Amino acid sequence: MASVIESAWQYLITHFSDFQLACLGSFFLHESVFFLSGLPFIWLERAGWLTKYKIQAKINSPSSQGKCIIRLLLYHFGVNLPVMIFSYPVFTYMGMRSSLPLPSWYFQIEFWFDRRVVLAQIIFYFILEDFVFYWGHRVLHTKWLYKHVHSVHHEYATPFGLTSEYAHPAEILFLGFATIVGPAVTGPHLITLWLWMVLRVLETVEAHCGYHFPWSPSNFLPLYGGADFHDYHHRLLYTKSGNYSSTFTYMDRIFETDIGYRKLKASKSAEIEFSSEQKKK
């Protein structure tokens, strides 16, 4: 398997420049993963499939879904792509490379910050991104910034996968910093950057998908937020929402910005338990 990946990577670096791979390649990968993972949730809503797993009963109209897709394409080509191009010198200055050999996948303590180790860097990126995103998101929920910037993202009180990146251009730049700061600081191998991008896209699409499945990551990963956690954030007024974290929930727990959500979950659990006891009688 490793030889196949290395052969494919050899083909890429032979036929494309570092700039083409880091900018255009990253953009193509992002668009592919984002739309392929997000579009199915539009079809689920329209077809009415798996409704028992849908968090909110309300569905989005085809026109609102279409508006989201059109705006996303504008934002991606008008904001995301230029950011990838202009940030390229920063990443290369910090040591990003695309040449062989590929970085190691194994994990050893002594190589925690070694750019050769993929797992160590991905863990670091998730932790740093979660911390930076939490505070940036809280700032966006202040009155003026919410009204003029963040309210665009909250146009969809019933989110679906693609709404994860539906936001004001200023917010894309502001919160996008949380995603790129880790790689910008460590200067990873390009394949590590691509893996981080794929995982981050899949995570944010899942968090906005509007469905809580039995196989949802939040059912298995401790402190993982997921769709149920973030859907609560979209349902409430900006001053009452809480649940500001992106991936994990520990920041909200530490600063007690998830109290409303926890009370709601406790209330639902009590209702389910009471209902079960009544059925037994």
In the block, tokens 């003029």 appear at 148
Residue 195 pLDDT > 50: yes
**pLDDT tens by residue, 108-156:** 444 444 445 888 899 999 999 999 999 999 999 999 999 999 999 999 9
Token pair in block for residue 102: 């590929």
Q: Locate the domains of the chain by residue range.
A: 2-214
- The one-letter code for the residue type at 123 is I
Torsion of CA 246, 169, 199, 183, to 10 degrees: -100
From CA 248, how far away is CA 194, in angstroms rounded? 21
Token pair in block for residue 276: 């079960």
In terms of pLDDT, which residue wins out, 267 or 202? 202
Cβ-based burial of 148 (10 A; exposed 0-12, middle 13-18, buried ≥19) = exposed
Token pair in block for residue 141: 């929920």
Name residue 211's beta-bridge partners: 54
Query: Does the global pTM surpass 0.75?
Result: yes
**pLDDT tens by residue, 157-176:** 999 999 999 999 999 999 99
**pLDDT tens by residue, 45-71:** 999 999 999 999 999 999 999 999 999
Among residues 37, 257, 23, the alpha carbon closest in space to that of 141 is found at 257
- Break the chain down into helix, strand, coil percent, rounded to 5: 70, 5, 25
What's the average model confidence in pLDDT over 13-34? 97
3-state secondary structure of 117: strand
From CA 268, how far away is CA 141, in angstroms rounded? 27
Among residues 239, 55, 82, the alpha carbon closest in space to that of 145 is found at 239
Token pair in block for residue 90: 């920063």
From CA 30, how far away is CA 33, in angstroms rounded? 5
Whether 117 contacts 107, CB under 8 Å: yes
pLDDT the model gives residue 111: 45
Torsion of CA 105, 111, 112, 115, to 10 degrees: -60
**pLDDT tens by residue, 221-267:** 999 999 999 999 998 866 678 999 999 999 999 999 999 999 998 98
